[in-house]
Amino acid sequence: MAAGRRTDPIMTSALKPPRVVIVGAGFGGLAAARRLAGRQVDVTMVDRRNHHVFQPLLYQVATAALSPADIAGPIRAILSRAANVRVVLDEVCGVDTGRNVVELTSGAELHYDWLIMATGARHSYFGRDDWSAHAPGLKSIEDAIAIRSKVLLALELAETETDAARRRALLTFVVIGGGPTGVEMAGAIAELARRSVSEDFRSITPHCSRVILMEAGDRLLPSFPETLSAKAERSLRRLGVELRLGAPVKDVGDGHVRLDNKILLAATVVWAAGVEASPAADWLRAAHDGSGRVIVEADLRVPGHQNIFAIGDTAKAMGIDGKAPPAVAPAAKQQGRYVADFILGRAQRPFRYRDFGNFATIGRNQAVITMGSFELSGFVAWLIWSVAHIWFLIGFRSRLSVTITWLWNYLTYQRSARLITGEIACPRPQSLRSQSLERKCA
């Protein structure tokens, strides 16, 4: 069928509205559900978690700048006024396209007339999944809390560690991956370790910690123009971040990272180097690219399945310019609204992505922005980045909370979300001294 042309919506009867199943409550899935709210369709949204997360700010939870509740909200609360939308807490394990059924791990089945796959992406360790135990990625609230605890616990243990080598390892933080997530994470850890917490410790000064950002390519932020990549590198170096470009990682183990001819000892390693799509392509038996993204038509439908859409990080959709939309929240939200309009009979043309720019922040007062041929960096870019992220947060409470917290952090350099959760291993007795430790680095 020609792209953009409609087929009649599938109706079981004149009294039964079409059943729309949305898999995934990320940006794309939630945008579709909100667009369909109050319409003559029966919508079921299924997700394995009960909350929607504003992923672009997860790194701020991981570095104690924000609390989890600041960037996450219950899916049911977000859709509470949508009487035709129900939320199911479950996990998808397959799709029977012959019977138009989504299979859940609980054993239940969801029948659909239209299916929207918005399952997002997960970490990719390029065939070395064993690295995940030592270098966690950042895709969920649980990931962010685990990284936050790891970073803060390293600082706590370093405060009383007397062995020089062990102390250096505790105060060494390695971020693998030079994309926006890696750049933002490295800058935030540097600010946390060098400024925000140093005044609260007695033996850690700003120059004690070491933050290393590794990138296998020859420059940071490869999706940005080279001029902005260079500015980002300079900003990170001013924060004290060490850059290792052209440095592919050979191995990640317990407390170390190995390069070609060198081993770095580090208690904290964060993975920001790659992602891969969910198993949606396998469930649908659909063609996919090397990252597992379903290759979709111009109207975002899966080839061979006229009533199934794939959007966001789940899909690879080529635009009219021959380029795929970037894996960012605005693209997923636009796609979610588009497929909802398609189901409602409103979308008559192929999907076209409206580019609102690419953003990355590099610590306090520094960011880089590209909007088409327009480039911006520095303090003004940082202000635009801040306003844009507050605007895209879901709910007035989250916007207000993040605004107040950011203002407080900016004025005081304090990070109030410095909580270590879960069971904490006590430091070894030989690491403690009875006398006061000097404020100096070994």
Indicate whether 228 and 91 sit together in one domain. no
User: Do 181 and 279 fall within a single domain?
Assistant: no
Residue 441 pLDDT greater than 70, yes or no: no
CATH of the domain at 84: 3.50.50.60
Q: Which pLDDT does position 78 carry in this prediction? A: 95
Secondary structure E strands in 323-419: 358-361, 367-371, 374-377
CA distances from 164 to 160, 161, 242, 256, 442 (A): 11, 8, 20, 16, 5
- Whether residue 420 lies inside any domain: the answer is no
Q: Are residues 258 and 134 located together in one domain of the fold?
A: yes
User: Which two structure tokens, joined as six digits, stand for 441?
Assistant: 């680095």
Are 99 and 37 members of one domain? Answer: yes
Q: Cα separation of 2 and 19, whole Å?
A: 24
- Tens-digit pLDDT profile for residues 47-77: 999 999 999 999 999 999 999 999 999 999 9
| Residues 222 and 283 reside in one and the same domain | no
pLDDT at 425: 63
pLDDT-based confidence at residue 435 (cuts at 50, 70, 90): very low
Mark 309-344 as b/e (b = at least 16 C-beta within 10 Å).
bbbbbbbbbeeeeeebbebbbbbbbbbbbbbbbbbb
Q: Helices 379-392 and 396-412 meet at what angle, rounded to 10?
A: 150
Is residue 428 pLDDT above 70, yes or no?
no
Domain contains 1: no
Separation of alpha carbons 53 and 75, rounded Å: 10
Between 210 and 419, residue with greater pLDDT:
210
User: Out of 184, 191, 215, 297, which one is annotated catalytic?
Assistant: 184
Whether 34 is in a domain gets the answer yes
Q: What is the pLDDT of residues 357-380, one digit of tens each?
A: 889 999 889 999 998 889 999 999
Q: Please tell me the total count of domains within the chain.
A: 2
pLDDT for 347: 80
Same domain, 47 and 113: yes
Residue 2, C-beta contacts closer than 8 angstroms, at least 6 positions apart: none
The pairing of strands 210-215 and 275-277 is: unpaired
Judge whether 159 counts as a catalytic residue: no
pLDDT bracket for residue 414 (50, 70, 90)? confident
7-34: pLDDT as tens digits: 444 444 456 899 999 999 999 999 999 9
Task: Indicate the angle between helix axes 27-36 and 329-343, nearest 10 degrees.
Answer: 30
Q: In the numeric block, which tokens belong to residue 198?
A: 């140093």
Looking at the fold, whether 181 and 219 belong to one and the same domain comes out as yes
> Of 194 and 300, which is predicted with more confidence?
300
Pairing of strands 101-104, 109-111: antiparallel
pLDDT reading at 433 higher than 50: no
Within a domain: 406? no
Same domain for 293 and 269? no
Quick one: 310 and 262 in the same domain?
no
Beta bridge partners of 213: 175, 243
> What residue numbers bound the domain in which 138 lies?
127-273
Indicate if 112 and 137 belong to the same structural domain. Answer: no
**Summary mean pLDDT of the chain:** 89
Which range, 5-9, 350-354, 417-421, is most confident?
350-354
Which of 252, 273, 294 marks a domain boundary? 273
